[in-house]
Every structure is written in C-alpha cells, then in structure tokens.
Amino acid sequence: MKVAIIIGSDSDLGVMKAAVDTLKNFGVDVELTVASAHRTPQKVHDFVKISSAQIFIAAAGMAAHLAGVVASLTTKPVIGVPINSEPFKGLDSLLSIVQMPGGVPVATMAVNGAKNAALFAVEILALQDDSLAKKLISYREQMAEEIELKDKKIQQEVSL
C-alpha cells in the first residue's frame, strides 16, 4: 500500500473520488476508509498506526481536524483536503487544516482539491520511483498538448 485516504464522512466521497481515480490512473495502490477525528477517534488512531501507507490524504469538512490528528499520529507525509461544507463554503475547513502548529506539518490543498492531493502524493512517491516519475512527466506533457489543441480550436473559431 502506498497511499491511504481517510475521509471524515461518507459525504466526502463525492469530492475524494477524484483522488482515488487519479492515484489508480498512475498505478498507485490506494486504500480508502471513513473515520472521523471527532466521532471515531480510536478508529483513526488504529488505522494510522497499523497502516503500511507511505502517504496519508485526509479529507474533512467543517471543523476538519482529521488531517491534523493523522499528522499527530505519524511521521509520514499527510496531505489535507478541506471539503466545501455549509455554512462557510469550506473556509472553516481550510483554516482548520492550514493553521497547523509548528512541528506537526500538513500539506494543505485547495478546498475540494482532491485531484491535486493525489498528484502531490504521486510527486512525493516519484522521488523514489523512476517509473512513476516518467508517468508524471507524460501526464504533464499530455496536459500541455491538450491546452495547445484547445488554443488552436479557439483561434480557428475566433479567426483573429
């Protein structure tokens, strides 16, 4: 197992599916579990302590303490994904994750930034995996090609 994704609620899956899909597209082993920092703290503790993951991605809305709790339990990289939730549209989640105290770092993505969380995990793993690094380079090249195709299409439509 390389990446473990922990979501605070099943309602977070709609956002975090992008992370699961992205990791799978890169051939990265992924495990997903629902565990809440507030409602099932022992489950979070037990999962992190026994996990063989190299990287954790923790996603939660509202108070969003899940990433910080995970980071307090491991020295492995933790990536936090704040989830857009009412009434503050994810700002509360973002602030809860990004304002970690010194000594317990969490890499924080944008609100609902599941895909970037997965890509950041891939970048970390690619430091020690040449095959994964090549896939990442190919992915970036493909993105650039798609932009060039979109530019050509727009130039033809607008006829500048």
**Distance between first and last Cα of the chain:** 51
Largest CA distance in the chain: 62
HSE-CB for 59 with a 13 A CA cutoff: 33
Number of residues written out for the chain? 160
Average pLDDT over residues 97-102: 93
Give the per-residue pLDDT at 159: 74
Tens digit of each residue's pLDDT (9 = 90 or more) over 109-131: 999 999 999 999 999 999 999 99
Q: What confidence tier does 1 reach under pLDDT thresholds 50, 70, 90?
A: low
Q: What confidence tier does 86 reach under pLDDT thresholds 50, 70, 90?
A: confident
Q: Which two tokens stand for residue 93?
A: 């989640």
Distance separating alpha carbons of residues 4 and 74, to the nearest angstrom: 12
Tens digit of each residue's pLDDT (9 = 90 or more) over 30-72: 999 999 999 999 999 999 999 999 999 999 999 889 999 999 9
Give the per-residue pLDDT at 99: 93
The mean pLDDT of the chain is 96
Give the per-residue pLDDT at 52: 96
Name the DSSP class of 11: G
The answer to whether 60 and 111 have CB atoms below 8 angstroms apart is no
Which percentage of the chain shows pLDDT scores above 90? 92
